[in-house]
Chains A and B, each alone.
Chain A
Amino acid sequence: MQALVVAAHGSHLNPDASDPTYAHADTVRETGAFDEVREAFWKEEPHFREVIRTLEADEVFVVPLFISEGYFTEQVIPRELRLEDWDPERWNSDGTDASQATLEATDVGKTIHYCGPVGTHDAMTDVIVQRAETAMADPDVGEGVGLAVVGHGTERNENSAKAIEYHTERIRQRDRFDEAEALFMDEEPEVDDVTDYFESEDIVVVPLFIADGYHTQEDIPEDMGLTEDYRLGWDVPAEVDGHRIWYTGAVGTEDLMADVLLERAADAGADIGDAREAVRELAASVAGTEPSAGAGAGD
């Protein structure tokens, strides 16, 4: 038997914070690739601390639904899961390379394959591109369009920016969009000045966040000048300084995220059969038929 645990932050205050976690876990459940699929949280229940004991499987794949390697993936989650012999060195990563480490959870005697976060997996690049497609309701989006990948950025954790820059560079190399730039909320270059960094008239903005909330639905739209007050909502596209800004919120809500969960687990040795194909087909059909307009203050 094998189980998948999707480890996410969650919130004591905002019930929507866990929505993407549940949605992507459900998608994986429906593939039948794992005997058990469980959500686990830092701020909700089941807590990281107790989740492994709720599983019957002896082989457990834990995938953090986080954007960057850092405090949560290197300290909090392994500590709370009681992973014996954990050391960040086990990942041998310089900030975006974490793949997996196999460890024992001391309270339950199970084998845990502790994976790197979804945000730094190569498959995340595809999710960002798909987000641009759904935001512009155009599966062929690219020509004549600039793509801005937006991250939080923080001086406390250099890895926070690395994930954003890593995917931006990968997208740039694909030569699909006319321009690709990494922008941040708390460091230079700042998302406030988004139009300064693009010549393209159309700019699609994809925030590399897991869930929609304060930053993606309040801060960023106001900072970019899409709206004066997030409560009034905004148009997609919105006119700013002679550019059209296409913005729909956190990339973590994109259906293709379930594929990244599966890839992380497969990289760590999980037998997932043809689950990835099923998820990719599902995500593509959703993207093709139901572009999420998403104007306004979240859903």
Chain B
Amino acid sequence: MTVATEDCERLADRASSGVAFDGLRVEETDGEFTLETPDNEWTGLDEDDLEDALAACEEYVTNWRYWQETVGGEGTARRAFLRWCEHAPIADADLGAAPSGPRNDLGEAADPNPLAVPERYDALRDGIDRRWGQLCITTRFVDVANPDGERVYDLWHVDDAESDLADLAVHDDPRDARELATYDADGRYRPLKTAPTLPGGWAFTGLSGDELVETVEFFYPATVANWHRELRGNLDVDHWLETAERQTGIYDVIDELPREAVDWMADACCVDSQCLRRREWQYEEGDDLDTDGGDGPFPCREPCSLVVAAARKWAILESEDEHTYELELTTSELNQLEELIDAVAEGRVDEIREADVNDGANRYRARYLRAKRFDEDGELEATRVDD
């Protein structure tokens, strides 16, 4: 149990203006030091006494050193996130201003009962796990046998939490996350980084705090910044109409999307099965969409570029008039159309077994329907009857 001499010197230097952090207090008045932790208090210390007393509360000293010297960044989202990672009180946040309970870790409030330094130090020996979307983050001491306060961070897919590290591809460069986040498990491009389709099979180990935040930002861009704003109660939400009316060029048309179509759009795109973000935007202030915003861990503060692009398509499609058509179908064929649409909408097509002809979306069933009901131009034989 030793406290580095340089830590003692730094604390002594700063004591004149007062040190108060995570339960540690050091003050100097007229050359006399006062030291205080939640469990003990020492008064009337000279500089040598101070060093001895600091040695008796080593955990508080190394904890101070890690946060104030290594991490720094008072008031930043980076620091708040790293504090959250180890269940530390996020003292920088103006939590009183939060209008509703900030949520994270799949709906969990941001540490209603944060851990004090001794409890955290116990937990950091084993590693503290937290979940950020589909990421599992472990915070641990660099040197577990003789902790000097320095933390490192490991990161992997939640589905790999029980995997042996030897079975995972190990990375240490944050930029590798860009490639890992680009494709899903089937090798398809993921234009939406918060789609719940992040593949596993990899691990980042021994990252510094800065590197961890950088890595998380490559997996889930801007989520740390917006989480921090939500935590402080100053998340800026742009509702649908504000975003739509701001668009120019080919997207200028999206503010013409009918009110009810915006609900259908949110139902199509902005639900938990499609995105880990929790939609906070509505049609406009005071006019909420019917579709629930979901339980995603990350606040969604305005329609994303995918929604804007899709909205353009729907704005154009919704400008068409409706007509009445007449077509011949058996009741089972009508049901089959419903099953086909549902299977595509739910991304279930690949799961339908080759020989499962009881499923209306089975490929052979679909091909049979096409052979029977499509004409030589490959179109459904339907007649418009309203003109």
Contact = CB atoms under 8 A, between A and B. Distances in A.
B217 interface: yes
Interface string B162-203: 000000000000010010001100000101110000000000
A143 B221 CA distance: 48
Contact of B222 (A12, A26, A46): A46
Contacts of B158: none
- What bracket does the count of chain A residues touching chain B fall in? 20 to 34
Contact of B229 (A11, A13, A53): A53
Interface residues of B, number: 29
B183 A56 contact: no
Contacts of A51: 222
B305 A42 contact: yes
Contacts of B236: 107
Contacts of A43: 191, 305, 309
Contact of B189 (A13, A53, A107): A13
B378 to A, nearest CB: 25
A78 to B, nearest CB: 12
A50 interface: yes
Interface string A46-87: 110111011010000000000000010001100100000000
Contacts of B182: 15
A50 B226 contact: yes
Contact of A54 (B175, B192, B217): B217
A145 to B, nearest CB: 37
Nearest to B188: A15
B80 to A, nearest CB: 12
A44 B190 CA distance: 10
A75 B73 contact: no
A54 B221 contact: yes
A264 B231 CA distance: 36
Residue of A50, A51, A75 contacting most chain B CB atoms (<10 Å): A50
Contact of B76 (A44, A45, A56): A56
A49 B238 CA distance: 11
Interface in B33-57: none
A79 B246 contact: yes
A52 to B, nearest CB: 9
Given A50-B226, A53-B226, A53-B229, A45 B248 contact: no
Top 10 closest pairs, chain A to chain B, by CB: A46-B221, A50-B222, A45-B221, A12-B191, A53-B225, A15-B189, A46-B222, A45-B193, A54-B225, A15-B182
17 contacts: A12-B305, A12-B306, A15-B189, A22-B178, A42-B305, A45-B222, A46-B217, A47-B221, A49-B302, A50-B222, A53-B229, A54-B217, A54-B221, A54-B225, A56-B73, A76-B248, A107-B236
